[in-house]
Amino acid sequence: MTRKYDLDRTDGAAHAQVERETEARRRLVDLGAGDLPPRPWRPAPAPPTDVDLTRFAVWRSADLSPEDLLDAMALLPAARAEVEGIEAGLLFLARGAGLTWAQIAEATGFRSPQACQQYFTRLTTRRNAQP
């Protein structure tokens, strides 16, 4: 999956980032993130998500080396993309359930329904632009 920070990079730089993320995931799983209990909505044996791994690093930060923390930070763009996917899905479901932009804006802290709708449009446009 291409992320927004990959768009301005050469293929070599994007490939290096993918390798960095893969190694970071492996190291954090080896440090104990692989022992996290499974989420009830994810079929077993699903590996921890990037959000799970970054959360694990925060939780275990006292036990992690600076390199381990850098590994967790390397996963932030992927974790952000994961959260954006959840956010877009919830917004889509809310609209499908008949909620108004005003109701969604109030629940999510936007100042106006129009601002909320514009955010949703930007979010889905950005997600749809990813291959």
Summarize pLDDT for 60-104 with one digit per residue, the tens.
999 999 999 999 999 999 999 999 999 999 999 999 999 999 999
Residue 9 has pLDDT above 70, yes or no: no
Locate the domains of the chain by residue range.
4-129
Whole-prediction pTM: 0.74
Contacts of residues 25-31 at CB distance under 8 Å and 24 or more positions apart, as own/partner, are 25/50, 25/53, 25/75, 27/68, 27/71, 28/53, 28/56, 28/57, 28/68, 28/71, 28/72, 28/75, 29/53, 31/56, 31/60, 31/63, 31/64, 31/68
